[in-house]
Amino acid sequence: MTAKTMEELVSLCKRRGFLFQSNDIYGGIKGLYDYGPMGVEFKNNLKQAWWKSMVYERDDTEGLDASILSSPVVLKHSGHEDTFTDPLVDCRACKSRWRADQLFENNKCPNCKSEDLTEPRPFNLMFKTAIGPVDDGSSFAYLRPETCQQIFTNFKNILDSTSRTVPFGIAQMGKAFRNEITPRNFIFRVREFEQMELEFFVKPGTDDEWHEYWINKRIEWWINQGIKKENLKKIEVEKNELAHYSKRTVDIHYVFPHGEEELEGVANRTDFDLGSHTKNQNDFKITSEVMKNSSSTTKLAIQDLEEKKWYIPYVIEPSAGVDRGVLALLNEAYREENIDKDNKRILLSLKPHLSPIKAAVIPLKKNNEELVNLSKEIKSNLQKLGLGRVVLENSGNIGKNYRRHDEIGTPICLTVDFETLEDKSVTVRDRDTMKQERVSIENLSEYYKKYFN
Ligand code: GAP
């Protein structure tokens, strides 16, 4: 069972330290959220799982971590300065602002129901900031609206420093910023978010096949993170709705608590971006007007040694939202269960590799020196295995600890009791089945490694 409502998820996230409204002691800012102690672990685990599958487990990709502040020239040539807009309408009656395509009742203000709305006008979603000490408008940068442009601008650096040739990919995870007109649905549509993007460069002509490959690969990956197959949908983006760079895009939709919407997009960006950032485009097939104004001094191309000519590779881009991934996986893992006729529990049945806390070590009696010291030793040994965060719970309230760790998705709790001092074993309780078994301290590392691998 997934979460019943978005409110239930929002409440769990605040109660257990996954997510907080940003700046909330001053009333908050719409479209900004902070990841708390559990949220940061969970998000990092999700990103790590992506990096592992996109970089470590492949032989045809490299990684990158580029700057967030982006030169306007880059975003001019990428097409963002001219086309990265949403249609904005103002309500003349209540002065609220809306995205024209999100007026659910045609031509009525969602706030006051007035029909006195302005004509839609383009609103650029990029955040601008001054660079250097003088803020006179002459020197500025944008906060990147997508992580991939710096992958394109580093294309030659990475080719030269790694001796790669196509097909190969460059992966990057990190922050992106969009001044959304109507941020909404918790962390689904926000103004500051993270993306996990791979730009996979291929020879033109092989792009359609690689596109299919990546669509299927990405759906498989989300299923491996714990999303049920039936909650994911492949949606072909209509030709007239394609982004300016795309020949074909397939969106991977998920059934979020507020409805079915995009979790990830897999686009065939053709040679648009590398072409746009290349100087001597006349040598290449031109696909866009914007290339004609390029002032880049670099040729972002590959030499075909057999055919003795240069060509601009096509790029297939799987682009996933980290925050939307967090929301989807929390929703997917959320369960409410009756323990007996009077008691129920909430649990997050997360895959163990994503759980914020891997194990909690709980001495049965608070502040009992022998039990606490042994628990500390067990905790420290498990922590050294490097599989994620392990915590010591020294509150002496086993029931409360189990409830808390069920709700944050801790796969196992280890209780150190007075018997432990005699038989050198601990009680291991499984989150999902609530079954308990005794495991000897001597075998604990092996048991633990097996559990998480
Ligand atoms: N480089 C391609 C690109 O940025 P996109 O469809 O605009 O494509 C990719 O964004 C992903 O980034 C989306 O599928 C979504 O998961 C995430 N995303 C986009 N805008 C977002 C927002 N305002 N809030 C949260 N996530 C967002």
**8-17: average pLDDT:** 97
Distances in Å between the Cα of 353 and the Cα atoms of 48, 85, 386 are: 10, 38, 12
SS (H, E, C) 9-44: HHHHHHHCCCEEECCHHHCCCCCCEEECHHHHHHHH
Q: Whose CA is nearest to atom 22 of ligand 1?
A: 189
pLDDT tens digits for range 140-171: 999 999 999 999 999 999 999 998 999 999 99
pLDDT tens digits for range 386-432: 999 999 999 989 999 999 999 999 999 999 999 999 999 999 999 99
Q: Whose CA is nearest to atom 27 of ligand 1?
A: 321
- Provide the pLDDT confidence category of residue 286 given band limits of 50, 70 and 90: very low
DSSP class of 318: E
Note the pLDDT of residue 298.
78
* Site to substitute for ligand 1 among 324, 326, 329, most atoms within 8 A of C-beta: 324
Q: Which of 179-183, 308-312, 411-415 is the least confident region?
A: 308-312
Atom of ligand 1 nearest to the CA of 324: 16
Residue 137: pLDDT above 90?
Answer: no
SS3 113: coil
Distance between Cα 282 and ligand 1 center (Å): 32
Residue 284: pLDDT above 60?
Answer: no
pLDDT tens digits for range 364-398: 999 899 999 999 999 999 999 999 999 999 998 99
Distance between Cα 192 and ligand 1 center (Å): 11
CA distance 65 to 171: 9
pLDDT tens digits for range 56-85: 999 999 999 999 999 998 999 899 999 999
- Provide the pLDDT confidence category of residue 278 given band limits of 50, 70 and 90: confident
Q: How many Cα atoms sit within 13 Å of 236 on the Cβ side?
A: 5
Distance between Cα 419 and ligand 1 center (Å): 53
CA distance 107 to 120: 11
Structure token pair of residue 303: 């030499």
Between 444-452 and 369-384, two packed helices, what is the crossing angle to 10 degrees? Answer: 50
- Provide the pLDDT confidence category of residue 1 given band limits of 50, 70 and 90: low
Note the pLDDT of residue 288.
39
* Site to substitute for ligand 1 among 127, 147, 262, most atoms within 8 A of C-beta: 262
Query: What's the predicted TM-score (pTM) here?
Result: 0.94
Provide the CA 315 distance to its chain's centre, in angstroms: 21
Distance between Cα 73 and ligand 1 center (Å): 22
